[in-house]
A and B are shown apart, each in its own frame.
Chain A
Amino acid sequence: MSLVFAGIVSHAPGITGRAQMGDAGIVQEFHSAFRSLGERLAESRPDALVVVSAEHFANFFMNNMPAFAVGMADHYEGPIEDPAWLGIARTKVPGDAKLSLRLIREIMQTVDVAYAEEWKFDHGIMVPLHFLTPRYDVPVIPVNINCQGPPLTPLHRAWAFGEAIRRAADSLPQRIALVGAGGISHWPATPDSGRINEAWDREFLASWAANDKAAMLSYTDEATYRDAGQGGFEIRAFIAVAAAARGRGTVQHYRPIPIFAVGCTVAAMNIGE
């Protein structure tokens, strides 16, 4: 049928793993917004959920790093991390290999992607699923954009990839939901963890919500690294969603929560023509 839902969310492991260390009211407000987006997602009655995330060496390493990869299996497993550390039980997540194949075939008409018949989910996908589809009752198609090992996927290619996802979704009879998962500015997994550039985040989110392609593609990796940390490279996932949705976004929740290491974000975008 088409793309029926588009949104973006944070995926930092602290969101679940360090939930008890945050201010209870602030955490609850964010978690509620996250779950509400899941309810909206369910209302769109998706046959499959494509999660575009930036993974963290759960599957892909610098021996063979794809710029883009798409999962093509009937089931996945996660989290790869210690479940107690992440606060999410290890589970089997349904996929849809045939649907993946059809999506990938169409995407490949314009963007070269790697496919993967094995894929272990890390927090990059498990944290979003924990809130959006907590019963794991929607088949998931995992997607990775290389935001970790330089040379990174160029931003304009992330945009082209989003366009290809949209074209592929629209060519299928199934109803496809799309979620981009990542951080905006953050310095994760370092002693700086908790540093957040709120002004930078708000500027990026405004460009995202306006679907301002030129503004979103204007960031250089050097400037992003300086102003938004290595975590800022994950804007690629959000950019791909904007390119696919072609609509205008609404930010339901944005608030820096330092113990979660990120400006915690929940946003949806309407599907444009």
Chain B
Amino acid sequence: MSLYQMQKFLFDINRDPAVQQRFLVERTQVLSVYDLTLEERDAIIAGDIGLLYVLGANGQLLMHYAALLGMEWSAYIAAMREGVRKYGPVRAGLYSMTTGLEEKVADV
């Protein structure tokens, strides 16, 4: 259930400006209501988009979350590739990587 919980957090923060504001000042407290593994919790707190991607976060949730963190498009794509390089293939979900680590599909 924890992937569900991690995605629930992303859903909540993406759509609710109040959660966004609270998360800026009290990350740990905001996360305390979600049943997360330590790895998921640390990845969110660190803003580790690559690890969240590898853990199976749905790309449509992750993409908007990355934008919320102020990541440019090319940085977001690079962060996911770096996540796969560092942590291995995507472990769950539908948004696995099918291209090579050195492949820049749209030149980014």
Contacts and interface: CB of A to CB of B under 8 A. Distances in A.
B26 interface: no
A259 B106 CA distance: 5
A230 to B, nearest CB: 4
Interface residues of B, number: 32
A190 B97 contact: yes
A195 B105 contact: yes
Nearest to B68: A82
Interface in B91-108: 94-99, 105-108
B21 to A, nearest CB: 14
B62 interface: yes
Contacts of B68: 82
Contact of A189 (B7, B84, B95): B95
A217 interface: no
A225 B94 contact: yes
A94 interface: no
B8 interface: yes
A82 B84 CA distance: 26
A150 B67 CA distance: 25
A184 to B, nearest CB: 16
B51 interface: no
Interface in B40-78: 53, 58-64, 67-68, 73, 77
Nearest to A62: B4
Given A18-B73, A258-B106, A58 B15 contact: yes
Interface of A: 13-14, 17-18, 21, 56-59, 61-63, 80-82, 85, 120, 122, 148-150, 187-195, 225, 229-230, 258-259, 261
10 contacts: A17-B73, A62-B4, A62-B7, A63-B8, A80-B64, A85-B67, A191-B97, A191-B105, A195-B98, A195-B105
